[in-house]
Amino acid sequence: MRINKYISETGCCSRRETDRLIADCRITINGVTCEAGDTVAEGDIVLIDGSPIPPKAIPVYLALNKPVGITCTAAKDVKGNILDFMDFPERIFPVGRLDKASEGLILLTNDGAIVNKIMRSEHGHEKEYLVKVDKPFDDDFILGMSGGVEILGVTTKSCTVERISDCEFRIILTQGLNRQIRRMCKVFGYKVERLERKRIMNLSVEGLSSGEWRELTVYEVEELMNRLA
């Protein structure tokens, strides 16, 4: 197993954080300084800063209604990072990203295995958003958005788009390209004024005010695991 996957699944830190630790020569495998791409086998001794990785913690699964202005990163040197905002007593990290200017549902956990499963775009997990643009749109905009849009050198997957009002629509994506909805709207000459993620698979932001969070219920975790299996 690759070292960054191995460490992320212990809940110690995310893959991205592990890569930073490797770059800083802070990880060893059997006494040898780890390099990017190294693998770990059963029985190997992995140390961070000369100390063993702590035993895997009891899994924590949280749903946060992220406000605008919070950055979805575990990097503590980033002002307004999501970990400082949460101030949770245990080590957790966000699952995926929701850009700083956007709001709504984001999951946080110490379970690296579930992070890796959710992040695999080929699974096609649904994510639902409510979007407001800067001017009224017509039916051609809805058809264009739902049929696939050329951005970042690829055509987006077909998706569900439903009109809410003259300037608002609901969209359900099964992929997660960088700033995807904003880029899609820009192709048609629209600017996103508000973007809120309402749902990730079976998990909803309903009932949470901006900035509030809650633990997932046992039922929600079980259903989430079944969908990821």
The token pair at 120 is: 């695999």
* Cα–Cα dist 73/106, whole Å: 12
Q: Calculate the CA dihedral of residues 188, 193, 162, 198 and round it to 10 degrees.
A: 140
* Cα–Cα dist 99/197, whole Å: 11
CB-count exposure of residue 177 (10 Å: 0-12, 13-18, 19+): middle
99 catalytically annotated: yes
165 DSSP assignment? S
The one catalytic residue in 99, 134, 140, 166 is: 99
**In 3-state terms, what secondary structure has residue 21?**
helix
* Cα–Cα dist 62/208, whole Å: 12
81 DSSP assignment? B
Region of 216 please: left (phi>0), alpha (psi -120 to 50) or beta: beta
Active site residues: 99
